[in-house]
Structure 1
Amino acid sequence: MPDAPDHIVFDRALLDRRRGRWHAAATSDSPRFLLKAIAAELADRLSLVDRRFETAVDLGGHTGEMATLLEQGGQTGRVLRIERLPSLLGDSAMAVVGDEEMLPLAADSVDLIVSTLSLHLTNDTPGALVQLRRALKPDGLFLCALLGGGTLNELRASLFAAEAELLGGVSPRVAPFADVRDAGGLLQRAGFALPVTDQDRLTVRYDSLFELMADLRAMGMANMLVERSRRPASRRLFLRAAEIYAERFSDPDGRIRATFDIIYLSGWRPHESQQKPLKPGSARASLADALKDRSDKL
């Protein structure tokens, strides 16, 4: 079992309470737009892999969108859902309550693990990745989407500016997110083979900061930082932040922009059949020769 992280960033018990309240009171699918879009993208990427995965895991998908797409895609035999909250599992036939940081899976037990927007909310992401790699069978595949560094930069800047103006200081209100290079490094550190990372950017438009924050609360993405201020924020603060947001980050029609950077990761449990990188110095042609040959043809 990996060591516990030195610094706790997220209050995951608070995350559970917020998601549980939203699930109990949900009357609209509108806050699910992000999960739906990313689950569809992950399913498309999986469809390009010419393999069948007998046992697949939907890890922390929250709404079941990913599990449904895995079942419909024809590449999996059975799909197991893992969630921290029993209420999120509904009547799923194959489901277990578990934590990404204490994975309830035996070593070498599954063929595919897909994680949709949950691992960036773990306090020990490197340890979680190591457990995921161990749970996969040799040559098993891990696919993941998590939020990246530029996510909600407009909201962060507006809240900071409003708080500095009104209170003379700032407190953390938007979670930190990894950049794509850091995410790729985590895959390598966890021992995944053939790691691939890339990033996409989604821009979503809202009438105001308040509609954006309502969606964030519904998705369990409101401030859950351990070091958040315990002093209740005033309505004056949010009204001023909304004004700053509209001044700095609105389109000509008056609607504001919200950025979501999505980092996609994939890696395989090592297996002897996989392609291996060439050893340094083993190439039969030099880069200089290749470039010279290219220039001679121009």
Structure 2
Amino acid sequence: MIRNCQSLLTAPKPMLLLRSLGVQPSHQIIFDRNSKRLQKERAALSADVALYDYLKEEIGFRLADRIFDIKREFKAAADIGCNRGYLSRHILAECVEHLTLTDTSATMLEQAKGTPGLKMAKIVKDEEDLDFDDNSLDLVISSLSLHWVNDLPGCFAKIKQCLKPDGVFIASLFGGDTLYELRSSLQLAELERKGGISPHISPFTQIRDIGSLLNRAGFTMLTIDTDEMVIGYPTMFELMWDLKGMAENNAAFNRPAHLSRETMLAASAIYQELYAKANETGVPATFQIIYFVGWKPGPNQPQPLERGTGEVSLKDLGKIIEKGGKVQTKT
């Protein structure tokens, strides 16, 4: 009984409301989607918003390069959580005929631009409430927005549902090692000053979970890889200011309303002491990026051979490679 009361005390407000009505939610509600929308609106309305595009612009370029690797012309595509168009500004009309942009922030959506000749439509839409027609899209893309989705399995399932057979889903999101320096510095500072810790950094998806989530949604022929970008900042405070300018500040329901000046100064000193490199000014910040590609099953996709049709055992694979032979192997 004590454990149940404790879980209710720490549960987000929407979770408490659902439980009070006798409804068991299908997923954990962690992020305040309305707060995230307001954060994006404030960032987009800033006069120097383009100053903070450096990270998302680079990731958008790298993700667009993965789209070009697929030698196919996509008739209908959708960019889910497009932000300020970090993907659309790299998508060529020769690759995608028509691109639909969606985002929760109307101001960011308005600022999104495309390349010459690219036909685009813009819809204010939450990533958790997609309603594209079934089997209507050849391609769904998303860059650095899905890590704020509460029901990621449900989102993946809706994306698969709206894809045509043999359609492809290509996306990127922040991984679990993102901002580990900032996270640990704030935790150590609060533990020292307050005797406890608060969740100042939102939780991120681990790379080991992405494959299982995509498989659960029904995607096949998965490709998952990670990349780490380490960016230097003069101090911890410039990093936090840039995160706010990117609209990547905390949006969890259980985030603390205030962070004291004393804790901030202590965290900055800890950050400098633990992570600043010798003979270098400034501090590093790590961003782990997870890229993945998943295909909706289709009749023209390559299929594995039936079990038992192999001619040799996998234990002899080394010998086959040495001889340069190509033989079907047992599964």
Q: TM-score normalised by the shorter chain: which range applies?
A: over 0.9
Distance in 1 between residues matched to 2:47 and 2:164, nearest whole Å: 37
Quick one: structure 1 residues 4 and 278, their matched pair in 2 at CA, closer, same or farther if it must change by over 3 Å? farther
Return the letter of the residue paired with 1:248.
L
- Residue aligning to 1:156: 183
Please say if residues 84 and 111 of structure 2, whose CA atoms lie closer than 8 Å, have aligned partners that are also in contact: no
Distance in 2 between residues matched to 1:200 and 1:282, nearest whole Å: 38
Query: How far does residue 30 in structure 1 lie from its aligned partner after superposition?
Result: 2.6
Structure 1 unaligned regions, length at least 5: none
Which of 82, 98, 101 is matched with 2:102 structurally?
82
- Residue aligning to 1:248: 274
- Residue aligning to 1:44: 65
Which of 192, 197, 221 is matched with 2:248 structurally?
221
Query: How far does residue 282 in structure 1 lie from its aligned partner after superposition?
Result: 2.7
Query: How far does residue 12 in structure 1 lie from its aligned partner after superposition?
Result: 1.2
Distance in 2 between residues matched to 1:243 and 1:260, nearest whole Å: 21
Distance in 1 between residues matched to 2:320 and 2:94, nearest whole Å: 46
- Residue aligning to 2:21: none
Post-superposition CA distance 1:263-282 (Å, at most 9, x none): 00101111011011233333
Return the letter of the residue paired with 1:84.
T
Post-superposition CA distance 1:18-66 (Å, at most 9, x none): 1101111141423111111111111111111110001111110201121
Structure with higher RCO (Cα < 8 A, 6+ apart): 1
Query: How far does residue 296 in structure 1 lie from its aligned partner after superposition?
Result: 8.6
Distance in 1 between residues matched to 2:216 and 2:259, nearest whole Å: 40
- In the TM superposition, what are the counterparts of 1:63-78 in structure 2 within 5 Å? 63-70=84-91, 72=92, 74-78=94-98
Distance in 2 between residues matched to 1:51 and 1:197, nearest whole Å: 20
Return the letter of the residue paired with 1:68.
R
TM-score by length of 2: 0.84
- Residue aligning to 1:109: 136
Return the letter of the residue paired with 2:265.
L
Please say if residues 82 and 109 of structure 2, whose CA atoms lie closer than 8 Å, have aligned partners that are also in contact: no
C-alpha RMSD of matched pairs (Å):
1.8
> Does structure 1 residue 18 correspond to structure 2 residue 49?
no
Quick one: structure 1 residues 104 and 26, their matched pair in 2 at CA, closer, same or farther if it must change by over 3 Å? farther
- Residue aligning to 1:6: 27
Distance in 2 between residues matched to 1:74 and 1:67, nearest whole Å: 13
Quick one: structure 1 residues 44 and 295, their matched pair in 2 at CA, closer, same or farther if it must change by over 3 Å? closer
TM-score by length of 1: 0.93
Post-superposition CA distance 1:62-82 (Å, at most 9, x none): 011211211x36201011101
> Does structure 1 residue 61 correspond to structure 2 residue 88?
no
Structure 2 unaligned regions, length at least 5: 1-23, 113-119, 325-331
Which of 85, 95, 120 is matched with 2:147 structurally?
120
Quick one: structure 1 residues 91 and 249, their matched pair in 2 at CA, closer, same or farther if it must change by over 3 Å? closer
Please say if residues 41 and 106 of structure 2, whose CA atoms lie closer than 8 Å, have aligned partners that are also in contact: no
Query: How far does residue 289 in structure 1 lie from its aligned partner after superposition?
Result: 1.8
Distance in 1 between residues matched to 2:96 and 2:237, nearest whole Å: 41
Please say if residues 157 and 217 of structure 2, whose CA atoms lie closer than 8 Å, have aligned partners that are also in contact: yes
Query: How far does residue 226 in structure 1 lie from its aligned partner after superposition?
Result: 1.1
What stretches of structure 1 move > 6 A for 4+ residues in a row?
A: none
Distance in 2 between residues matched to 1:199 and 1:210, nearest whole Å: 27
> Larger deviation: 75-84 or 272-281?
272-281
Distance in 1 between residues matched to 2:135 and 2:273, nearest whole Å: 53
Quick one: structure 1 residues 238 and 215, their matched pair in 2 at CA, closer, same or farther if it must change by over 3 Å? same
Quick one: structure 1 residues 269 and 26, their matched pair in 2 at CA, closer, same or farther if it must change by over 3 Å? farther
> Does structure 1 residue 288 correspond to structure 2 residue 309?
no
Instruction: Using the aligned pairs only, state the percent identity.
Output: 36
Return the letter of the residue paired with 1:82.
T
> Which structure has the bigger radius of gyration?
2
Distance in 2 between residues matched to 1:5 and 1:262, nearest whole Å: 27
Distance in 2 between residues matched to 1:150 and 1:125, nearest whole Å: 19
> Larger deviation: 99-108 or 277-286?
277-286
Give the paired residue count: 293
- Residue aligning to 2:162: 135
> Does structure 1 residue 98 correspond to structure 2 residue 129?
no
Query: How far does residue 283 in structure 1 lie from its aligned partner after superposition?
Result: 2.1
Which of 228, 236, 245 is matched with 2:262 structurally?
236
Distance in 2 between residues matched to 1:261 and 1:285, nearest whole Å: 40
> Does structure 1 residue 178 correspond to structure 2 residue 205?
yes
